[in-house]
Amino acid sequence: MKRYLLEIVRQKWRLLSVILTVSVVNVVLAIFVSVYQLPAIADLKTKWSGLRLQVARAGQTDPTALYRQGAEDLVKLKSRIAEKRQFARVLSDLLEATASSSVEVGAISYKPVPVKEENLLSYQLSFSVSGRYAAVKSLLADLQNNPELLVVDSVSFSNSNLFVEKVTMDLHVTVYLKEVA
């Protein structure tokens, strides 16, 4: 038996040395992970939890200050709502934004819907525009920066030809207007 074992070692000494080297490296790496990395990870987790707690505490404010800020935000929001008689101007601004973005506008349809609780009138606009992707994206940015209370409800893109950069965007936008008594 000893002779067979010595013969295997003599013939396969390279393979056995590789196996022994890999085993030693594996043991060294296991010791490194357990002695150095696991405590370092535990410390970093503790620091991270502490930072998250600090951020959570920083977001808590005095209820009266929060109420005051909410009231100021409502005043700003209400100031952005145009009167019902200014619908033509708002629609004209929207069409001007499409023209300045170099897109082609399809048919525009709108449907007024009263919001009685707030004494508002919402116009739900639906239209499609087509043009280069950058121009369509520019139009979306212009709509987001519109000073009126305008909400982009949904957007869908389509491209009929993969080799031509012409994107069609279907938009559903809601414009809120004040009902003036």
Residue 144 predicted with pLDDT over 70: yes
Q: H or E element: which one contains 105? A: strand 104-105
Phi-psi region of 29 (alpha: psi -120 to 50; beta: other; left: phi over 0): alpha
What digits encode the pLDDT tens for the residues 111-131? 988 888 888 888 899 999 998
Domain 80-178 has CATH 3.40.50.720: no
Which residue, 171, 178, 180, is CA-closest to 151?
171
Confidence of residue 181 (pLDDT cuts 50, 70, 90): low
Mean pLDDT of 10-32: 90
- DSSP state string for 34-68: IIIIHHHHHHHHHHHHHHHHHHHHHH---HHHHHH
Give backbone dihedrals phi and psi of 167, rounded to 5 degrees, phi first. -105, 140
Q: What are the structural domain ranges in the chain? A: 2-58, 80-178
pLDDT band at 59 (very low <50, low <70, confident <90, very high): low
